[in-house]
Structures are given as structure tokens and as C-alpha cells.
């Protein structure tokens, strides 16, 4: 028996139409090409986001992995060669165009899986705008490293103070999928990032210091808080830690797919002319 094809771009258009008719959930990786220190390739965010989607698709048959949106929002990373930056508004319009095309093809449940920290506000705008444009569909998104199961699994294994960029978590995950591309002999800890109670970052949301509280939304130029391009300690990374983190992420994404498939799609209502008493009756079940 032939193995099920999980990649959207490897299907013919009749096969894509059939997948839409089956209410298949689409997993859309959203990532970046950016520097990741001395030891990691510039495709870290792309490889990891796509890997999570692939693993989730293998766990849940009601999925397809869409061709990734490979580039991200990067003006703060341009101090190092290799990074590719796309303007925020272009990325948002691009993402909404991609989602709109998928909805036009008949898909009604689309989940963006992000791999790049500074894509998070971009992803949120893509999801919000696409949902407003297409109320007949469900559009959602989350960063793989922010999933609850990743924190649950990786937290007890974490040896470094925080995970942020080319760190213990990202390096471990890359070691799990392509160890030959990781130059561990060049990995260095870089904690030159200046932390304070409201200024800190951690991929899984773990507070790095006893006085850490809800962090500000703040992104200084990356070179003001890193000399090597790293934030964290990748020397603590292992493939075993990465495998557990990726599997945890994939399991949660596979579960989210079921959750989205079970969620009824409701078209929006308008209450400009509906009597208040009618609304009260509906609230009381009448």
C-alpha cells in the first residue's frame, strides 16, 4: 500500500479538491531565513516549523502540510550576513493571499505553525485578517516553541537559564533532525542580552530570573544583546532533548487538528436590528 502523501505541493489538483472535500486541515509553516550563530545554518526556523508540521501530519491523517512561507520579519537581525528581511506589511498581505487561495480551493480549516519569534505579531495579523475576510473558514496559528507540551517536556531537561535564539532548545531540535549540519564545536554561550524584570525573553515562556514578571513587548536591535548571534547556551543541547521537544510539539499540533475539525463554523451575525428581548431569550435558551 502506498504511503499517504502529506505534502500539498505534491498532489494534483483533483487530489487537492478531494482533500478539501474531506475537510482536511492544512498546516502552513511560517518561518524565516536568518543567522543562528556560528554553529547553526540560517534555515533553523524554517526546518523546525516544517518538521513539527510533518510529524503532526504523520500522526493525524486529516492533515496536509502546505508549502512553507519561508521568509520573515528581520530588520533587527541584519547585523549578520545571511538574513533575509521582508517588510511586515508585505508579509501580512502575502500571508492573507496564501490563506485566501487555500479557502478558495475549498479548505475550511487552516493552521499556521510559526518558527520565528518576530513573526508572532505578523502571524496574528494574518490570522485575524484572513478570518475576517473568510468567515466561512477557521484560521488559527501558534508558534511551535510556545506550545504547552513543549514547555512541559523541555522544561525539566533544560540546563541553560533561558532559551531565545540558536539556544539550547533550537540547537537540540536541529540536532534531532540533521546533526551533520550542526557545528557543535563552534557553539558558544552568549548571555550578553541585558535582562530586567520586564525585559526578558524565553521561547517556552519560562521565567529566567526570580524577579521576572510579564515581559514588555520590546525588540531592540539584536546586536545590542548578542555578540555571536546567539542568545542562550547551545552548548547544553543534545539530540535527545530536541527529539522530545519536537515530538511534544507534533503531538499537540495533531490534537489541535482534531479540535479544529470538531469546531462548528458559524457565520457571523449582526445585531443592529435585533430586539434586545430576542437576544435575552436566546441567552436563556428560549
So what's the pLDDT on residue 28? 98
Is residue 77 one of the residues assigned to a domain?
yes
Is residue 105 one of the residues assigned to a domain?
yes
Is residue 285 one of the residues assigned to a domain?
no
Is residue 284 one of the residues assigned to a domain?
no
Give the CATH number for residue 103. 3.40.50.10310
Is residue 274 one of the residues assigned to a domain?
no
So what's the pLDDT on residue 9? 98
Q: Is pLDDT of 91 > 80?
A: yes
* Other Cβ atoms closer than 10 A to 32: 29
Is residue 248 one of the residues assigned to a domain?
yes
User: Could you list the residue range(s) of the whole structural domain that residue 81 is in?
Assistant: 8-266
Helices (H), the chain: 13-21, 44-59, 88-104, 120-133, 148-154, 168-177, 239-262, 276-283
So what's the pLDDT on residue 186? 98
| Residues contacting residue 264 through CB under 8 Å, at least 6 positions apart | none
pLDDT, one tens digit per residue, over 153-176 is: 999 999 999 999 999 999 999 999
Q: Place 3 in a pLDDT band, splitting at 50, 70 and 90.
A: confident
Is residue 2 one of the residues assigned to a domain?
no
Q: What's phi and psi for 225, nearest 5 deg? A: -135, 20
- Give the mean pLDDT of 239-259: 98
Pair 51, 11: CB distance under 8 Å: no
Among 120, 248, 104, which residue's Cα sits nearest to residue 112? 120
Q: What is the pTM of this model?
A: 0.96
Instruction: Tell me how many domains the chain contains.
Output: 1
Q: Is pLDDT of 34 > 80?
A: yes
Q: Is pLDDT of 286 > 90?
A: no
So what's the pLDDT on residue 135? 98
- Give the mean pLDDT of 183-198: 96
Quote the CA–CA distance of 124 and 141 in Å, as a whole number: 7
- Give the mean pLDDT of 188-206: 94
Pair 144, 114: CB distance under 8 Å: yes
Is residue 71 one of the residues assigned to a domain?
yes
So what's the pLDDT on residue 1? 58
Q: Place 79 in a pLDDT band, splitting at 50, 70 and 90.
A: very high
Amino acid at each position: 500500500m502506498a504511503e499517504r502523501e502529506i505534502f500539498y505541493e505534491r498532489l494534483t489538483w483533483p487530489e487537492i479538491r478531494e482533500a478539501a472535500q474531506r475537510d482536511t486541515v492544512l498546516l502552513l509553516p511560517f518561518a524565516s531565513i536568518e543567522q543562528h550563530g556560528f554553529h547553526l545554518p540560517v534555515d533553523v526556523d524554517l526546518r523546525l516549523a516544517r518538521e513539527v508540521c510533518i510529524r503532526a501530519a504523520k500522526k493525524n491523517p486529516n492533515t496536509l502540510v502546505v508549502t512553507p512561507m519561508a521568509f520573515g520579519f528581520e530588520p533587527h537581525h541584519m547585523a549578520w550576513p545571511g538574513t533575509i528581511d521582508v517588510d511586515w506589511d508585505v508579509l501580512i498581505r502575502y500571508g492573507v493571499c496564501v490563506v485566501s487561495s487555500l479557502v478558495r480551493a475549498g479548505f475550511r480549516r487552516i493552521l499556521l505553525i510559526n518558527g520565528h519569534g518576530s513573526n508572532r505579531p505578523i502571524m496574528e495579523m494574518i490570522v485575524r485578517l484572513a478570518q475576517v475576510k473568510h468567515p466561512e473558514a477557521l484560521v488559527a496559528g501558534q508558534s511551535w516553541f510556545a506550545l504547552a507540551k513543549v514547555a512541559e517536556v523541555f522544561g525539566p531537561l533544560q540546563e541553560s537559564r533561558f532559551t531565545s535564539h540558536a539556544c539550547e532548545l533550537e540547537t537540540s531540535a536541529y540536532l534531532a533532525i540533521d546533526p551533520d549540519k550542526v557545528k557543535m564545536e563552534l557553539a558558544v554561550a552568549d548571555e550578553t542580552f541585558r535582562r530586567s524584570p520586564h525585559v526578558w525573553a524565553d521561547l517556552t515562556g519560562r521565567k529566567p530570573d526570580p524577579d521576572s514578571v510579564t515581559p514588555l513587548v520590546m525588540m531592540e536591535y539584536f546586536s545590542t544583546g548578542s555578540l555571536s548571534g546567539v542568545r542562550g547556551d547551545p552548548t547544553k543541547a543534545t539530540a535527545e532533548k530536541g527529539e522530545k521537544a519536537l515530538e511534544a510539539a507534533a503531538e499537540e499540533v495533531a490534537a489541535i487538528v482534531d479540535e479544529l475539525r470538531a469546531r462548528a463554523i458559524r457565520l457571523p451575525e449582526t445585531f443592529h436590528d435585533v430586539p434586545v428581548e430576542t437576544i435575552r431569550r436566546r441567552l436563556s435558551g428560549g
